[in-house]
């Protein structure tokens, strides 16, 4: 019995970590490449969840609805990028942070206007359970972990094997140099931003069945996502992966030990990491401002 709780705790932590990873990797990429802090990723997360929920209730196609959630988030991020971020890439970090916070708040207001204030339950696409070492584990959570792992591999392949990915990596090191080579860096920026928005939307659409869909859901995960990015080191994909699963486990296993710990422990961990190593676990000292 005791062991069962721990196994399901670990699985729960893994799926939370996957969601955190999908959300944080966009933020981290945006920071690494464009030097912006894009809080509005959390808006695409809620939007993805809401679109997935709406499509699901309309046509009862779970995976199609997840896909449409991610696509809608991508379109929304494209619009925001064109209208707002395109004008402010050159500004300092805190400026983009506050502007994107304005977008986040405005978007939450718009969501409240369209879908109302009441939290909605979204249905789970796969509600089978498999037994791992005698513990029933929902398959859906395992699928989320698999998707996150797939996304990680895909990002690594794109960044390491394609021309665009190599240009992005080079631009993380030195934007001016890459621009000097004749690469249209603003196209790279748009591409990265929309990619990040789609990943956030995917995270929202996948997370929707596990939590209730409600307008505040984006604001609720802000602290956790930030924490993941900070612990991992801004701009590092690998660091984001490690810290996302770390935070997922701390939240999940912490709550098994002592319930209030679930929300607090990750912040204590972040405080420790920041005070000891201000660049995060994998943050390169080059990226320090």
Residues lying near other proteins in the complex (CB under 8 A) are found at 37, 84, 87-88, 93-95, 97-99, 101-110, 112-113, 216, 219-220, 222-223, 226-227, 230, 259-260, 263-264, 267-268, 270-271, 274-275, 278, 289
Helical H segments across 81-162, by residue range: 86-88, 93-115, 139-161
For residue 60, give both structure tokens.
Answer: 């009862």
CA 55, CA 34: separation in Å to the nearest integer? 33
- Residue closer to other proteins by CB (options 191, 267) is 267
- Residue closer to other proteins by CB (options 94, 131) is 94
Residues in Cβ contact with 181 at an 8 Å cutoff, skipping those fewer than 6 apart = none
CA 24, CA 27: separation in Å to the nearest integer? 5
CA 53, CA 144: separation in Å to the nearest integer? 17
Provide the minimum distance between the beta carbon of 104 and other proteins in the complex, in angstroms, as a whole number.
7
For residue 120, give both structure tokens.
Answer: 């909605």
Provide the minimum distance between the beta carbon of 58 and other proteins in the complex, in angstroms, as a whole number.
24
- Residue closer to other proteins by CB (options 144, 221) is 221
- Residue closer to other proteins by CB (options 48, 266) is 266
The torsion angles phi and psi of 134, rounded to 5 degrees, stand at 80, 5
- Residue closer to other proteins by CB (options 124, 222) is 222
Provide the minimum distance between the beta carbon of 258 and other proteins in the complex, in angstroms, as a whole number.
9
For residue 239, give both structure tokens.
Answer: 């660091």
Query: What is the torsional sign of CA 212, 215, 218, 219?
Result: negative
Provide the minimum distance between the beta carbon of 219 and other proteins in the complex, in angstroms, as a whole number.
5
Kindly tell me the number of DSSP H helices and DSSP E strands found in the chain: 12, 2
Provide the minimum distance between the beta carbon of 145 and other proteins in the complex, in angstroms, as a whole number.
26
- Residue closer to other proteins by CB (options 39, 145) is 39
**With contact defined as beta carbons under 8 Å apart, do 68 and 52 qualify?**
yes
Provide the minimum distance between the beta carbon of 65 and other proteins in the complex, in angstroms, as a whole number.
25
């Amino acid at each position: 019995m005791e062991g069962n709780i721990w196994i399901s705790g670990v699985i729960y932590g893994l799926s939370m970590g996957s969601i955190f990873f999908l959300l944080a990797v966009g933020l981290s990429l945006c920071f690494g490449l464009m030097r912006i802090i894009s809080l509005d990723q959390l808006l695409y997360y809620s939007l993805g969840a809401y679109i997935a929920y709406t499509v699901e209730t309309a046509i009862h196609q779970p995976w199609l609805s997840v896909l449409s959630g991610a696509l809608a988030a991508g379109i929304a991020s494209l619009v925001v990028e064109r209208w707002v971020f395109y004008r402010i890439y050159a500004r300092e970090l805190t400026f983009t942070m506050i502007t994107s916070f304005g977008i986040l708040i405005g978007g939450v207001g718009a969501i409240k206007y369209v879908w109302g204030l009441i939290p909605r339950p979204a249905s789970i696409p796969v509600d089978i359970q498999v037994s791992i070492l005698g513990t029933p584990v929902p398959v859906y959570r395992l699928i989320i972990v698999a998707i996150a792992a797939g996304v990680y591999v895909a990002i690594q392949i794109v960044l390491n094997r394609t021309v665009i990915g190599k240009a992005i990596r080079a631009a993380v090191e030195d934007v001016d140099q890459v621009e000097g080579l004749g690469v249209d860096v603003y196209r790279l920026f748009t591409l990265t931003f929309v990619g990040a928005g789609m990943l956030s939307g995917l995270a929202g659409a996948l997370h929707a069945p596990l939590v209730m869909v409600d307008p505040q859901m984006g604001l609720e995960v802000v602290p956790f996502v930030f924490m993941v990015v900070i612990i991992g080191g801004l701009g590092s994909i690998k660091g984001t992966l490690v810290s996302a699963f770390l935070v997922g486990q701390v939240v999940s296993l912490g709550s098994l030990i002592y319930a209030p710990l679930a929300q607090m422990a990750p912040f204590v961990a972040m405080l420790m990491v920041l005070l000891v190593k201000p660049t995060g676990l994998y943050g390169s000292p080059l990226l320090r401002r």
